[in-house]
Amino acid sequence: MLETFSQSRLRAAGAHEISDALENAKIVYFPECPVELPDSADLDTLREHLPAQVERKNASYYPESDQVRGLRKGAPLQSLSRRVLSKHSSVVSDFLNQAIPDLFHEARIGTSSFRPLEEKGRNLKPHASNELIHVDAGAYGATNGDRILRFFVNVNPTENRVWVSKGSFWRLFEKYGEQAGLKGKGHGPGHLDKSAMGRLRTSILQGLSRIGLPQATVIDSSPYDRAMRRFHNFMKDTPAFRDDTVEREEFSFPPFSAWMVLTDAVSHACLSGSHALTLTCLVPLRNCRHPELAPFNILRQAS
Ligand SMILES: [Fe+2]
């Protein structure tokens, strides 16, 4: 599942080499981070002090509002977090524009986050736990079938970040789609189309976001996003799935390595590690060269 791009392979990569790997549910791995990292003194400060200042699992920079959320009120690291995370968002976006220009065309840049806490043993509720294998659903409001692309950097200077996967969405859907209630009766072509009410709701929320309420679209949903949420929850809730170790693979990402994944199509969980940078983007489904591999089209054709 891992497709490794050394610096020399990255330099020589063809126009679609990296994007094809992503669409084929590979984890695109960079042993050496291909983007400039934040200043090391700033990273030291964030690693040392952010864990005591976050009230959520991440400190996240929201580009529409130019604000960081997830920190306790009045947290001293508000301004440093904003500076570091907004810059990271722009350097990663620049890299993606060069590395996967066609796939990334008109992508929506979402949150840029710092995940300071140790993932192992956090005892979160299953649906919020990163330790249970899942595919991502509904990032940043409704995706409507657009792809969720995440770019990660392990900025822990001494410890690996350990991931586990059970393979691609399409393999898991083939095996578990029916059990999850996403195949069979009532799931023919058209079941992912939005109702008139759903379309109205989306256009109202988009209108609100254009007139100064950028967060409005975050509460939008769609039949596709609800189906993905159902599969996400099934994976985390179902003992038969959790206990299935067929095709289970672990990956260790060393300090200062980077990787990127279409997380709607690659099942994943983070078993351990602290201090990671993550940029989330929404890539238009129309940009895919292999649309048949996109979860939207797999769900659409399920019956
Ligand atoms: Fe995830």
In this predicted model, what pLDDT tens digit does every residue of 141-159 receive, in sequence order?
A: 788 899 999 999 999 999 9
The C-alpha atoms of residue 99 and residue 95 are separated, in whole angstroms, by 6
What local confidence, expressed as pLDDT, does residue 300 receive? 87
Number of domains the chain is built from? 1
CATH number of residue 92's parent domain: 2.60.120
| 135 CA to centre of ligand 1 in angstroms | 6
Highest mean pLDDT among 29-43, 113-127, 191-205, 211-225: 29-43
pLDDT in tens, 252-291: 999 999 999 999 999 999 999 999 999 999 999 999 999 9
223-237 and 169-176 helices, crossing angle to 10°? 80
Closest among 291, 281, 225, 292 to 104, alpha carbons compared:
281
Closest among 255, 254, 285 to 155, alpha carbons compared:
255
| 51 CA to centre of ligand 1 in angstroms | 20
What local confidence, expressed as pLDDT, does residue 215 receive? 67
| 282 CA to centre of ligand 1 in angstroms | 14
| 278 CA to centre of ligand 1 in angstroms | 11
- Token pair 């939207």 is found at 296
| 245 CA to centre of ligand 1 in angstroms | 19
Confidence band of 5 (pLDDT split at 50, 70, 90): very high
pLDDT in tens, 67-107: 999 999 989 999 999 999 999 999 999 999 999 999 999 99
Closest among 146, 144, 148, 145 to 134, alpha carbons compared:
148
What local confidence, expressed as pLDDT, does residue 186 receive? 65
| 24 CA to centre of ligand 1 in angstroms | 18
| 269 CA to centre of ligand 1 in angstroms | 6
| 287 CA to centre of ligand 1 in angstroms | 22
| 262 CA to centre of ligand 1 in angstroms | 10
What local confidence, expressed as pLDDT, does residue 150 receive? 98
What local confidence, expressed as pLDDT, does residue 187 receive? 67
Q: How many residues does the chain have?
A: 303
| 264 CA to centre of ligand 1 in angstroms | 8
Q: Answer for the pair 224, 144: CB distance below 8 angstroms, yes or no.
A: yes
The C-alpha atoms of residue 296 and residue 62 are separated, in whole angstroms, by 26
Range of the domain at 33: 2-301
Q: How do beta strands 161-165 and 2-4 pair?
A: unpaired
- Token pair 């030291």 is found at 44
| 197 CA to centre of ligand 1 in angstroms | 29
| 125 CA to centre of ligand 1 in angstroms | 14
| Residues whose beta carbons lie less than 5 angstroms from ion ligand 1 | 136
40-53 and 78-99 helices, crossing angle to 10°? 120
Collapse the DSSP code of 1 into the 3-class scheme (helix H, G, I; strand E, B; otherwise coil) and give the result: coil
| 196 CA to centre of ligand 1 in angstroms | 31
What local confidence, expressed as pLDDT, does residue 131 receive? 83
pLDDT in tens, 38-77: 999 999 999 999 999 998 888 999 998 899 999 999 899 9
3 phi, psi to nearest 5 deg: -120, 110
More confident position, 293 or 187: 293
Collapse the DSSP code of 287 into the 3-class scheme (helix H, G, I; strand E, B; otherwise coil) and give the result: helix
Average pLDDT, the chain: 90
pLDDT of residue 37 exceeding 90: yes
What local confidence, expressed as pLDDT, does residue 219 receive? 67
pLDDT in tens, 284-298: 999 999 999 999 999
| 7 CA to centre of ligand 1 in angstroms | 27
| 54 CA to centre of ligand 1 in angstroms | 19
- Token pair 């992503």 is found at 22
* Count of C-beta atoms within a 10 Å radius of residue 200: 11
Terminal-to-terminal C-alpha distance of the chain: 28
| 12 CA to centre of ligand 1 in angstroms | 30
pLDDT in tens, 198-252: 777 777 767 777 776 666 666 667 889 999 999 999 999 999 899 888 889 999 9
| 190 CA to centre of ligand 1 in angstroms | 27
Two tokens at 254?
Answer: 């060393």
- In this prediction the pTM is 0.92
| 92 CA to centre of ligand 1 in angstroms | 19
Q: What ranges make up the beta strands (E) of the chain?
A: 2-4, 27-30, 59-62, 67-69, 108-115, 147-154, 161-165, 249-253, 258-262, 269-272, 276-283
